[in-house]
Structure 1
């Protein structure tokens, strides 16, 4: 059962790593809000971390990389750094978990490797949650702010929804690795003294039986 849970954690970690890369690349962080005068606009604008895309009504889409980082809002600038860090952490965590699962070392050393992987998955999940939550909060505040023009209002894009799902996957993978490995360590710590106690009892029984046999021979 423990091995099956670790395999489940590995699968969740792989999905979370894939989701992290997808969220970082996807341009649909902020999308055009079709309210007021925007209802007659025949195009939708997508704003991502690296580029802005304009999708025409005839399904023609054109993307352009941002000319300068300085023109980006603070939440997008911070999201770039957080998401890049999350990609690195999730990839490293997945690699460490693969190494730990295939390791032929003793149980304690193997569990230490998987605990490190679990910690990296948890940190990666937090580095996804922070920019996704920050950007979502900014979109909601601007949407209900009467001082912001309707043409500048944005809605939550698909990348942010995927970001929340990715956070849950990475957190679940890290949590399973941490909980399972700690339970394995506790089991080994309680199992070793029992084995030693059994060995000592067997030794005492052998010694006593040997002494009895010798006395019977002497008589």
Structure 2
């Protein structure tokens, strides 16, 4: 029994893409993109995300405050927020397009060319979603590394470090890229299968036995 059929690959890639999309959506709103702990006050932990900043103390607990102005955001945070929003929109559209292009979905049944185009469109959109997610987290990681090793800043001043949300964003971006790639693989497998079926059908027609038509005569 063949497991890696086009139908199986389509559903597996859609499942992986949907998991990456959900992880990207959750990661976008987590405040754990950056973390900072001061040596002067070890009881305080600072966390920063794309939408708000939080501080944790043993006396108060976690207290968060949203960024007041969109234009006052740092360039890396602003760019990462835009990239993540683009990732969510394109990922959602890609998953919807790929779903309607699946084999066995009754909507558009019998229109193989339309389904093939929907799978390709879904793969492209999911690819864009994964690339924008990776671009957002990689940009922020690069800026953090540059600032962390900046010699102009005093050593007493603590620097931001990677938070758990950044690793989650890298993981979700890779899931989206893998899901989009396997959608293209499923399309190629479907094309190869259709080509084999057409060759088999043409071969059967060539080897069809030749029958002769005889005229029946009656002798009166």
Please, what TM-score do these two structures have when normalized by structure 2?
0.86
| Distance in 2 of aligned mates of 1:197 and 1:43 | 76
Q: 1:111 aligns with which of 116, 119, 129?
A: 116
Contact 1:142–1:153, Cα closer than 8 Å, also in 2: yes
- The answer to whether the 8 Å contact 1:28/1:46 transfers is yes
> Which one of 27, 30, 34 corresponds to residue 30 of structure 1?
34
Equivalent of 1:174, from 158, 176, 180? Answer: 180
Paired residues in the alignment total 209
CA-to-partner distance for each residue in 1:11-61, whole Å, 9 max, x for gaps? 111111101101211111111045xx34x3311111111111111135711
SS in 2 for 1:52: strand
* Equivalent position of 2:166 in the other structure: 160
Distance 1:86 1:59 in 2: 35
Is the 1:43–1:55 Cα contact (8 Å) retained in structure 2? yes
Contact 1:108 1:185 in 2 (8 A): no
Matches within 5 A, 1:65-104: 65-101=66-102, 102=105, 103=107, 104=109
SS at match of 1:72: coil
* Structure 1 residue ranges, 4+ long, deviating more than 4 angstroms after superposition: none
2-structure distance, mates of 1:16, 1:57: 34
User: Is the CA contact (8 Å cut-off) linking 2:33 and 2:165 kept in structure 1?
Assistant: yes
Q: Is the 8 A contact 2:47 2:54 kept in 1?
A: yes
The equivalent of 2:9 in structure 1 is 5
Gap regions ≥5 residues in structure 1:
none
Alpha-carbon offset, residue 130 of structure 1: 0.6
**Which has a greater percent of helix?**
1
* TM-align CA RMSD: 2.2
**Contact preservation (8 Å) 2:37, 2:46:** no
For 1:153 and 1:122, the matched residues in 2 are separated by 33
Tell me the TM-score normalized by structure 1.
0.86
1:190 Cα deviation from its structure 2 partner: 4.1
User: Which structure 2 segments of 5+ residues have no match?
Assistant: none
Whether contact under 8 Å (2:20, 2:172) holds in the other structure is: yes
Aligned partners of 1:111 and 1:185 also within 8 Å? no
